[in-house]
Amino acid sequence: MGVLNITPDSFSDGGSFASLENCSLKLSELLSFGPAMLDVGAESTAPFNSPCPEEKEKSRFLDIFLPVFIEWGEKNQKHPFFLKGTLSIDTYKPEVFSFVVGKLKPHFPHLKFLWNDVSGVLDKEALRILEEDPKVSYVFCHNLAPMRKDSSHHMNYAFKGDQQAFLDHLKSYFQQGLDYFEGYQERVFLDPCFGFSKTLEQNDFLIQKLPLFIRSFPKETPWIIGVSKKSFLQNAVKEYRQSPQDWAPVECLHTGLLSLWFQRLRGHRLTMRVHNPNVFYGALKAHTMLSEESTIL
């Protein structure tokens, strides 16, 4: 899953793609790597940012992403993404998700959609959207904010408890979600949502225990994993970075983590959310080489 942020205050790219020209360049770059999914967000939910009003979020899609995506898609109608790909809309507002899907459906009848709902709120909106459209899937994220409008303030609701209690909580949280979406589970992705409602220590601990945690669920359970450019990864290699714009040490660590997870979670349904596709393909190549080595030995 490639990531395209059109937010002016994104923690990862500082609004680099919040213009028509730069959005178009980034879209072309991401689609050239052949992603199965493309995730687009118009509001940053980093805890230091204020919530974005619904109309402003819609206008960012309308003014920046939609014209670029529609023009690109109509010029490249046979591109695999527009025939079998999935466009993920990163928003906690059901009105924004429905707005974007409504604008795009007439242009791209084969395109599938994913509601990447970072709220973690189990309500009728998610069920309604799954019921209404079989081409729509849903991401159930770990966020302990009590209401959708509180999604950006997730760090005010960080889990309190020791490490084992934290893992037990996560297991119970996602099991509750799977039970809630009974009948639609094949279209519901689980996302541990690194960085949301978690302390720095909890993020580090979850990275260590992620394979064990995912293996506690059935193999057919679909997961979306996103640690790309997260602050706790930046913190782990801070002594090796020359400046805040020096992402190379962070992405090297990211590649290593993905390769390790590929090795330890073979057979599980994993979608990796990455800002830089080279990180994913580097990790995949390392995984393949290690698998060949294991076979030979």
> What is the CATH number for 192?
3.20.20.20
pLDDT at 296: 44
- Shared domain for 68 and 33, answered yes or no, is yes
Q: Please check whether residues 132 and 80 belong to one and the same domain.
A: no
Q: Which of 225, 231, 234 is nearest to 261 (CA)?
A: 225
225 close to 192: Cβ distance less than 8 angstroms:
yes
Tell me: do 20 and 124 sit in the same domain. no
Same domain flag for 47 and 100: yes
In a shared domain, residues 96 and 129: no
Instruction: Tell me the backbone φ, ψ of residue 140, rounded to 5 degrees.
Output: -95, 110
Residue 191 and residue 155 in one domain: yes
- 236 in a structural domain: no
Alpha carbons 102 and 170: distance in angstroms, whole number: 34
User: Other CB atoms closer than 10 Å to residue 180's CB: what's the count?
Assistant: 15
Tally of structural domains, the chain: 3
What is the tally of helices (H) and strands (E) in the chain?
11, 8
Residue 227 lies in a domain: no
Whether 239 is in a domain gets the answer no
Q: Specify if 235 maps to a domain.
A: no
* Residues in the chain, pLDDT under 50: 295-297
Q: Are both 35 and 100 inside the same structural domain?
A: yes
Residue 62 lies in a domain: yes
Half-sphere exposure of residue 87, counting CA atoms within 13 Å on the CB side? 24
pLDDT score recorded for residue 49 = 58
Tell me whether strands 37-41 and 86-90 are parallel, antiparallel or unpaired.
parallel
Q: Per DSSP, which regions of 142-192 are E strands?
A: 188-191
Number of other residues whose CB lies within 10 A of the CB of residue 145: 22
What is the C-alpha separation between 89 and 96, in angstroms, rounded?
Answer: 9
Compute how many other C-beta atoms are within 10 angstroms of the C-beta atom of residue 32: 11
Written as six digits, the tokens of 206 are: 């979850």
**Domain annotation covers residue 149:** yes
Is residue 170 in a domain?
yes
Whether 263 and 166 map to the same domain: the answer is no
Strands of 269-272's sheet in order across: 2-5, 37-41, 86-90, 112-117, 136-141, 188-191, 222-225, 269-272
Same domain, 175 and 194: yes
Do both 3 and 89 map to the same domain? yes
Domain boundary among 85, 117, 149: 117
- One domain for residues 203 and 288: no
Cα 262 from chain centroid?
17
Specify whether 163 is located in the same domain as 70: no
Which residues span the domain enclosing 254? Answer: 248-297
